[in-house]
Amino acid sequence: MVDVPGGRVHLVEQGTGPLVLLVHGFPELWHSWRHQLPAIAAAGHRAVAVDVRGYGRSSAPASAEEYRIGALVEDNVAVVRALGEETAVIVGHDWGSTIAADSALLRPDVFTAVGLFGVPYAPRGAIRPTDAFALMGGDEEFYAAYFQEPGRAEAEIEKDVRGWLAGFYATLSGDTRPVSGEGAAFFVPAGGRMGDRFVRARPTWLDDAELDFLAAEFERTGLTGALNRYRSMDRDWEDLAAWEGAPITQPSLFVAGALDASVAWLADAVEAFPVTLPGLVASRLIEGSGHWVQQERPDEVNRVLVSWLRALEGRTPSTPPRSPR
């Protein structure tokens, strides 16, 4: 546990050397990086995986106001400082990818390189997020809009945390995702629940012990802290007005599952990488993997991640970035 301005952050670390900060997404914990911690440590780095504010053993302020992106960036900066370091490489998955990207954008003095998993970098645009969500649903409701009202999603999820998590993980996994109606689970019919369209199968990467651990943590904490990240998106949009369209210029990495719906939905963001991520060193789609790429394909992801970290060690500011592929 380390102290930060907003409370305390729980982290798990392994290894010594240059700091690599790992930031998870929704609905996950530091645990989602369990396969990467030893690989990064073996490569000569200090691997640190945090529980993001609102998750696990980290502080969980009651107000959604406390989950705006600036506060999460400052949590990451405070973790780096608490560990006795001045700079770090930051890597994130899902919401953690957005948090990592904005950490690199807002604090380039601290975060010298950024790895993005599952969700590509998309600079702040002209449309308010909740306005965009309203346009996406049609007769149904986009899941991020469904998450906006305090207590509403909690009422669904917390009736059966283990079952809801299992269904959510399965629906986005490469080996259990729906073969038809792909993406339908992200739209909630009028009067329905998000979980009504979940796949009822178990991904090969998720065993009972791991699911039990995750469920127990979310049963203990509830889901409000995690969902408050969605409820701060309009605040982020307001706070990032000065960075509209801004690129991230540090060396970067993008990794995603080839079957991840986020890649399809955000294809324009990927196409824009030459402009938005001019320091992109490598971009890789992992065949057969869905959204949980570092858990579904840990060995392949570790090879890509460690190769990128080694490339950073020999990189100078004048070295031109490789083109994305």
Residues recorded for the chain: 325
215 lies in the same domain as 154: yes
Q: How many Å apart are CA 131 and CA 15, to the nearest integer?
A: 44
Where a domain ends, among 204, 231, 258?
231
Longest dimension (CA), the chain: 56
Amino acid at 114: V
92 lies in the same domain as 155: no
Q: Is 315 exposed, middle or buried (0-12, 13-18, 19+ CB in 10 A)?
A: middle
Catalytic residue among 24, 45, 93, 291: 291
**pLDDT tens by residue, 207-255:** 999 999 999 999 999 999 999 999 999 999 999 999 999 999 999 999 9
Q: What is the DSSP letter of 200?
A: -
Q: How many Å apart are CA 129 and CA 70, to the nearest integer?
A: 17
| Average pLDDT of the residues in 274-298 | 97
Asked if the model's pLDDT at residue 322 lies above 80, the reply is no
Q: Count the domains in the chain.
A: 2
254 lies in the same domain as 306: yes
189 lies in the same domain as 219: yes
Secondary structure of residue 226 in the 3-state scheme:
helix
Q: How many Å apart are CA 294 and CA 301, to the nearest integer?
A: 6
Confidence of residue 257 (pLDDT cuts 50, 70, 90): very high
Are 323 and 293 spatial neighbours (Cβ–Cβ below 8 Å)? no
Where a domain ends, among 197, 231, 265?
231
Using CA of residue 315, residue 319, residue 324, residue 325, what is the dihedral sign?
A: negative
What is the pLDDT at residue 191? 87
Q: Kindly report the number of other CB atoms within 10 A of residue 52's CB atom.
A: 28
What is the pLDDT at residue 318? 36
What is the pLDDT at residue 138? 77
**pLDDT tens by residue, 101-152:** 999 999 999 999 999 999 999 999 999 999 999 888 778 999 999 999 999 9
36 lies in the same domain as 89: yes
The range of the structural domain enclosing residue 171 comes to 129-231
115 lies in the same domain as 211: no
CA distances from 27 to 35, 60, 173, 216, 230 (A): 17, 15, 14, 13, 12
103 lies in the same domain as 219: no
- To the query of whether residue 239 is one of the catalytic residues in this protein, the response is no
CATH number, domain containing residue 98? 3.40.50.1820
Q: Is residue 283 part of a domain?
A: yes
- To the query of whether residue 31 is one of the catalytic residues in this protein, the response is no
Q: What is the DSSP letter of 173?
A: S
Using CA of residue 303, residue 304, residue 309, residue 313, what is the dihedral sign?
A: positive
Q: Is residue 173 part of a domain?
A: yes
Per-state percent for the chain, helix, strand, coil, to nearest 5: 45, 15, 40
224 lies in the same domain as 289: no
Catalytic residue among 51, 94, 102, 260: 94
